[in-house]
Amino acid sequence: MTTNQQEAKTCSTAGMVTYSFGACTEAIIMNTFFGFAMLYYTMALGLSPGNAGMAAFIAGLWDAVSDPIMGHISDNTRSRFGKRHPYLVGGGVGMVLSFFFIWYVPGFFKSNMLILFWYLVVMNLILRTAYTVYVVPFTALGFEICGDYDGRAKLQGIRNAMNMTANILGCAMAWTLFFSNNSGDIRATHISQNYINMGISFTIVAAILIIIMLIFTSKYIRDSRKDNLSGFKIMDFVRDVKDIILDKYPRWVFIFIFFVSLGIVLVSALQMFVLEDFLLLSGWQKTVAHGGTMVGCGIGSLSAGILVKKLDKKGAVYLGGCFGVSCELILALMFLTGFLKPTQTIGWLPVSLIVFTIFHSAYWFGNGIMMPVALSMMADIAEIHEIETGVNKTASYGAIYSLAFKTSLSIGLLLSGYCLGWIGYVSGSHATQSREVIWRLCALTLVVGPVASLAALMLIKRYPVTKQFLGKFRAKRRL
């Protein structure tokens, strides 16, 4: 594809939506895993939080490291079905099967905590490998179908909003559909069968979503057998990775997404325990609180394209980040000082639930702006590289971005497990938590996200690419 063709290439809103069906599959599988796996293995199966976090960390590191490999493979694939779709099929099937066995744990593997730990490690590795095979080509496909500066932000915003929609209908509704059977001292989150029922149901839904995605994106298949490719040699791969890492344009985006994601995964993992142990919510109330965060994130994502048009990409990121940080710190101030009690009501009105949902959702609104804009920045940078070299390496650029993102997720999951142990959280289906532990849990959850976001915002200041910069770069290369 020539530079002029790429600049002129746009994608309709309908095309963006149909592409984003693929994000629904990703959301159902990975966000359910991130949201409920720690609860399942600690509360229902009795694995220590440290070991549960370590299992996720091991698999997450492999997931991150394998991304550049997958990006290189996808970029250099010669196939009549193109560079992306063969992997969308294989990775999608692998994700569905391994996701099922995360929840359906055969009896033998429950007999010993060490055996359970290694079962979780192995199933994590399989799931995360399949996820890499799927998501790296899927991301690259999104970079390729829209070459417009503003349109890229809009596409990634729609993708993230579709992701959040799947989260609302899946992860958030799971509280009502599968975890409403509290009985006396037995909480629904302590019952293994509830997680198994959820796993079976979401496996079926994810399989259907993959089929829908493949049907809608088949129009983007382009025969790649005659493309100018780097090759599969190890030195070709090493050279590609080196070139991207040394590229002056993406480095600040990599660092930015690392810190933003670190805060996001810590809050994502810990907020589930806040809903369960601090706020003491019922099933439908957890659906409201958890679903509210997804609504906030989705609205933020849909706003990203509009904000980019008005403020450019860095301006949109600053606005989203500062707004989200402010709202989360206000929430922390209200709960941690005792101004608002965890179960406070006015008559029948659950005040604490309403306040938590509004302000915590506002924090996720800010994340919903920052995440898709950062990914659209990477699409701009991949275009700059193609203008300079004439070689399409969109999957490789997306993969290094994903490396930073997933490394952060892995570290965050590891830290979340150790943080629970550090504050004195006790695992097991019959465990109870002291007031001090629950206060520390709330403090950790509401403060760690804003700290990470503020660090990220300070770092992204040095990112140089703007709409005007990219326009001048394109014009210069035409001369």
- In degrees and rounded to multiples of 5, residue 393 shows phi and psi of -125, 40
Q: According to the model, what pLDDT value does residue 170 have?
A: 82
- Specify which of 21-35, 165-179, 318-332 reaches the highest per-range mean pLDDT: 318-332
Mean pLDDT taken over the chain: 86
Q: Which amino acid is at 29?
A: I
Digit-coded pLDDT (tens) for 219-244: 888 888 877 666 666 777 788 788 88
Digit-coded pLDDT (tens) for 351-409: 999 999 999 999 999 999 999 999 899 889 988 888 888 777 888 888 888 888 878 87
- Copy the structure tokens of residue 354: 């309403």
**Residue 7, Cα to own-chain centre: how many angstroms?**
29
State mean pLDDT over 212-217: 88
Class of domain 16-216+248-478: mainly alpha
Give, in order, the Cα–Cα distances in Å from 381 to each of 42, 71, 153, 394, 465.
42, 15, 13, 9, 8
Q: Residue 279: which H helix or E strand, with range?
A: none
pLDDT at 7 over 60: no
- Specify which of 86-95, 214-223, 413-422 reaches the highest per-range mean pLDDT: 86-95
pLDDT > 90 in the chain, percent: 36
pLDDT at 460 over 70: yes
pLDDT at 479 over 80: no
Whole-number Å distance between alpha carbons of 305 and 322:
18
- Copy the structure tokens of residue 402: 């994903």
DSSP string, 208-273: HHHHHHHHHHGGG----TTS----S-HHHHHHHHHHHHH-TTTHHHHHHHHHHHHHHHHHHHHHHH
Whole-number Å distance between alpha carbons of 475 and 378:
20
The residue ranges of every structural domain in the chain are 16-216+248-478
